[in-house]
Chain A
Amino acid sequence: MKILFSLSEATETIRHNKFRTFLTMLGMNIGVGAIIAIIAIGLMARTSIMEGVGELGAALIIVQPEYKSYDDQERPLRLAPEDGTNLARLFPEETVLPYLQGSADTSARGLTNGEQVFGVGEDYNLVWNRELEAGRFFDPEDHHLRRKVAVIGSRIARKYFGTGEAVGETLRVGAQVYTVVGVLNERGRETMNDGTGDTTIYLPLETYQSFFNHGWYGRPYLNYLLIRVENMDRINEIVSKTEIYLFSRYGFKNGEPRFRVSKSQDDINTFNKVFDVITLVISLIAGLSLLVSGMGIMNIMLVAITERTREIGIRKSLGARRRDILEQFLIEAVIICLLGGGIGVILGMLVSFLVALSQSWNYLVPLFSVAAGLGVSLVIGLFFGIYPAMRAARMDPITALSRD
């Protein structure tokens, strides 16, 4: 019952000192808000990556040169086209997708520009399920007959052919002229990406091999290849079998593997590592801000006690015990902190909502973070409020009463 009384006393005082209370709470708002936001944003980002993996309905393994194993001046060894066929034979249940990648001067209807060109394997759209705005993706004949056909990203279509029909038109890419057979839909935000986009020109891998030079490598090569693994449980087995295949074929360079085999889940791990650091830094800043605001609250409570010395004297003369006074001022500090923390929670939720909106993530705020935010506020209120409250409680009634 006395607690209720102390509560009403505290809210009365806070109402009376609105502006001062607001200033005192600012640090709490920011500190708690930052904690809520960082936890929520981390959760949403992780969830969105997980969903990205889920969307594909499979896991991806990417095989590419391990640049770290080479000195600065050295040119890394590339994968050969046979590696694609060998791995496909090794994993008959999975899909192996080779990539070639480069850029070339492209022109159509008098416009010439440098564009990104990809040569992709026959199973490209089995792996990626890209939707087409018009036309079709490559068929096996396009590959086997090394037809000069291209599928283009939506922005390439707009750029070279405007709003008109692009399918059936021709496009010069490098030294050859290609017929556009398909235009891809504009792609939204993607968590899983193979490096291609709306400004990519796709050619059948075999066509690319015929008409683009092999650069400095002197033999046909692949930039990288993807393995789409249908059964997630097999992913580690496939990674290690791929590594063994590559070791036995290419050996080591300076004691390190020449090729890196990474899985899509590694992205999550990398993200987690990076995000853990960000979380740590922001938490440190938030913690510091909470510490400082705690000291601010202690300061304001000490000021309040000096201002209200006479009030304390009056209350004591009327029979308030030390505990009554202690309770009153402690609860006042706690309420300021909880109010600050509560506003911080709302701020944090708002910030994470805006981030979720801008990243088109599902909006999630874990309940435990809200509880933690309020819990931290409570602890700060108690910790920094106890000393001023004790000073108030210990005041001598006579001296307190004689104060103006």
Chain B
Amino acid sequence: MIRLIDIHKDYRMGSNVVKALNGISLNINAQEFVSIMGPSGSGKSTLMNIIGALDRPTSGSYHLDGEDVSGLTDNELAVIRNRKIGFVFQTFNLLPRKTALQNVELPLIYGGMPRRARRQRARETLEMVGLGDRMDHRPSELSGGQRQRVAIARALVTSPAIVFADEPTGNLDSQTGQEIMDIFTRLNRDQKVTVLLVTHEADIATYADRVIHIRDGLIFSDEAVVSR
């Protein structure tokens, strides 16, 4: 599903070159549930941005769902994000003036799906995350957990190859955090969705089948999680 080969990423800060990633190679298969951990400055975010098709590597190659993504233009990357990736952010990143339903519809609009079909699809997805009765609420009228569920529905609505969750429980209390993690687990188990989770909380990371540690721009460890 995801295949990274010798990914380097350099940032130029004035005359200095900062090496954020120093040659990362990584395979993630379909239907896997993988956590990525690492302290800040480890290159974790940079890796996330590259895997999420928000950024391009300086060198190395990146195949997503069989497609070489490393050399694509901005617009091509936008299409990849739209079709193959679903993002769930720590801060939810919902559009505040739109209802839950409109937020979930948004990726389908950019994907060019006709109105009737996308309404239907967005409704179904919201129902799937248990928000069938909150579709016309704006984010400000929803609790943190509900907001994150809207965000999950928005990530799932395009049936992406991979769902990306960047500290999805970071802004939630532990009870709600657990509920959210249960959703991810269920999605992975029942709907065969590939999930890539970024977190700095060890116990959250262990919801996954596999945990990858990043340090100094390199993979420090990559091990399967012994069953919980």
Give the CA-CA distance A314 to B154 in the complex, in Å: 11
> Quick check: is B66 within 8 A (CB to CB) of the other chain?
no
Given B78, B89, B95, B111, which contacts A316 in the complex, CB threshold below 8 Å? Answer: B78
- Least CB distance, B113 to chain A, in whole angstroms: 10
Give the CA-CA distance A310 to B54 in the complex, in Å: 14
Which B1-60 residues have a C-beta within 8 angstroms of A? 49, 52, 54-55
Give the CA-CA distance A321 to B107 in the complex, in Å: 11
Flag if B75 contacts A319 (CB, 8 Å): no
Query: Which of chain B's residues has its CB closest to A6's CB?
Result: B109
- Knowing A12-B97, A322-B75, say if A2 contacts B112 (CB, 8 Å): yes
Interface size on A, residues (CB 8 A): 23
Main secondary structure of the interface of B (DSSP, over half): helix
Flag if B87 contacts A317 (CB, 8 Å): yes
Flag if A398 contacts B54 (CB, 8 Å): yes
Given B87, B110, B114, which contacts A324 in the complex, CB threshold below 8 Å? Answer: B110
Flag if B97 contacts A318 (CB, 8 Å): no
Flag if B112 contacts A318 (CB, 8 Å): no
Flag if B75 contacts A315 (CB, 8 Å): no
Interface size on B, residues (CB 8 A): 27
Flag if A318 contacts B74 (CB, 8 Å): no
Flag if A318 contacts B82 (CB, 8 Å): yes
> Quick check: is B83 within 8 A (CB to CB) of the other chain?
yes
Which chain B residues border A313 with CB–CB below 8 Å? 93
- Knowing A12-B97, A16-B97, A397-B54, say if A319 contacts B81 (CB, 8 Å): yes
Flag if A315 contacts B106 (CB, 8 Å): yes
Flag if A1 contacts B79 (CB, 8 Å): no
Main secondary structure of the interface of A (DSSP, over half): helix
- Knowing A318-B82, A319-B81, A319-B107, say if A1 contacts B93 (CB, 8 Å): no
Flag if A401 contacts B93 (CB, 8 Å): yes
- Knowing A323-B75, A401-B93, say if A318 contacts B81 (CB, 8 Å): yes
> Quick check: is A5 within 8 A (CB to CB) of the other chain?
yes
Query: Which of chain B's residues has its CB closest to A393's CB?
Result: B74
- Least CB distance, A397 to chain B, in whole angstroms: 5
Which chain A residues border B78 with CB–CB below 8 Å? 316, 319-322
- Least CB distance, A307 to chain B, in whole angstroms: 12
> Quick check: is A115 within 8 A (CB to CB) of the other chain?
no
Given A1, A314, A322, A323, which contacts B95 in the complex, CB threshold below 8 Å? Answer: A314
Given A1, A13, A310, A316, which contacts B112 in the complex, CB threshold below 8 Å? Answer: A1
Which B136-158 residues have a C-beta within 8 angstroms of A? 154, 158
- Knowing A16-B97, A398-B55, say if A321 contacts B49 (CB, 8 Å): no
Which chain A residues border B114 with CB–CB below 8 Å? 1
> Quick check: is A311 within 8 A (CB to CB) of the other chain?
yes
Chain B positions within 8 Å of A, measured between CB atoms, are 49, 52, 54-55, 74-75, 78-79, 81-83, 87, 89, 93-95, 97, 106-107, 109-112, 114-115, 154, 158
Q: Which 3 A-B pairs have the closest CB atoms?
A: A319-B82, A321-B78, A319-B110
